[in-house]
Structure 1
Amino acid sequence: MSFIAWIIVACEVAFWVVIILGLLARYVFKLDKAGLFLLYLTPVIDLILLIITGVDLYRGAAATTAHAVAAVYIGVSIAFGKSMIQWADVRFKHYVLKEDSLPAKRYGIDYARHYLKGWFRHVLAYLIGAGLLALLVFTIQDPARTEALVNVWRIWTVVLGIDLIITITYFIWPRQAKA
């Protein structure tokens, strides 16, 4: 596993550790400001990942799939970060504090609309991540060194298209409640 791959793993672990610590500070220790501070550190983790990846490529490393995944990770983290924190917040309240805070399950057109909002977030993540990939490809200007970046970009484009098809199917065949 490459250095960059380990950095991505470390950033993902740090992301969730910071969220858990922020939730513990907020709800268990009643330190609202400290909890919010910790939760607001999540973009700093993304910035660290971006800087390390950029420095590695600037020093002449051939771009790998790990470098591309760093761009994907940053896009996803920015686009979905707030909703991931809200998701963790609700489940922390439910499972740790034993509050009845889980949202009701969504069905029918409500589920389709909710999934569509998620797809729009996916588009935002794609625009950010693909923009970073394009910036790296443009900056390096060596197709041999950036082939992995372009390949991940292509795969992500296909995944985004598949996600759109799935989104559309929820409007055609709405999700039904289990009997």
Structure 2
Amino acid sequence: MIVTLIVAAEVSFWILLGLGLTTRYLLRWRRTSTALLVGLPVVDLTLYALTVLDLRGGAVPSWTHALAASYAGFSIGYGPSLVRWADRHFLHRFAGGPKPLPSPKYGPERTRYEWQVAGRTVVSAAITLSLITLLVPLSAGSAHFGTFSQWYLKLGIAAAVNVAVAACYSIWPKEPPAGVQVENGRAVTGKPLVGSAPGRTPADRP
């Protein structure tokens, strides 16, 4: 059952995201678009609520229950940045917006970017592990704790690795190759890169 719910939640997430951007840029229904995009985390939180009900109904705990919790953690930790990424690409592809800039590769901009990624990973891991911990009492407590314990290790390692990578960039900032012109942490070839238009992401609009 949980696997089916996870698949349904994944499909629903991308459908809502696509509809949100379509109604915003192609149909100009801004309020409808905002409502659809706000509903994105609701999908994953609903999945988690159904997971709780499944365990309370006597289901045998498995890794799929923990995976359902991780969707909610990912949605909160990475959801806003994912929506901004999709927004920029949709705006460029279908609404004549500027070409999205690549992630910065050099200098303090790269360091700042790596810390942003690390922060999202830490938040996502913390929320996921908190939600998994809440599932333990519904799983006959310590009798099934081993079912979820591997997630603590895996997500802890993922968060630690991201923080370590960001720390390395802080200590040893990546410098561009000799002769390469850099602007805002990105290599510039020919004319300067054009930034994204201000106020053109869902996070910046009501």
- Same fold per TM (> 0.5)? yes
Unaligned runs of 5+ in 2: 181-206
User: Corresponding residue for 1:160?
Assistant: 159
Instruction: State how far apart, in whole Å, the 2-side matches of 1:104 and 1:93 are.
Output: 15
How big is each residue's C-alpha offset from its partner over 1:27-52, in whole Å with a ceiling of 9 and x where there is no partner?
00111111111111112202210111
Secondary structure of the structure 2 residue equivalent to 1:60: coil
1:143 CA displacement: 2.9
CA displacement, residues 101-150 of structure 1 (integer Å, 9 cap, x when unaligned):
41354122111112202211221112211111111113434334332211
One-letter code aligned to 2:147? A
Supply the AA of the counterpart residue of 1:113.
Answer: R
Q: 1:63·1:146 contact (CA, 8 Å) conserved in 2?
A: no
In the alignment, is the contact (CA less than 8 A) between 2:41 and 2:76 conserved in 1?
Answer: yes
State the match for 2:196 in structure 1.
Answer: none
2:146 equivalent in structure 1: 147
Aligned to 2:107: 108
Structure 1 residues 61 and 177: alpha-carbon distance in aligned structure 2, compared to 1, 3 A threshold: farther
> What is the Cα deviation at residue 177 of structure 1?
4.7
**CA distance 1:4–1:177, shift in 2 (3 Å):** farther
Say which SS state the counterpart of residue 125 (structure 2) adopts.
Answer: helix
Give secondary structure in 2 for the equivalent of 1:124: helix
The residue that corresponds to 2:33 in the other structure is 35
Aligned to 1:9: 7
Task: Check the 8 A contact 2:117/2:162 in 1, yes or no.
Answer: no
1:85 counterpart letter in structure 2: V
User: Structure 1 vs Structure 2: percent identity of aligned residues?
Assistant: 31
For 2:102 and 2:160, the matched residues in 1 are separated by 29
Q: RMSD across aligned C-alpha pairs, in angstroms?
A: 1.8
Segments of 5+ residues of structure 1 without an aligned counterpart are: none
Query: In terms of mean alpha carbon deviation, does 121-130 or 136-145 score higher?
Result: 136-145
Bigger helix share: 1
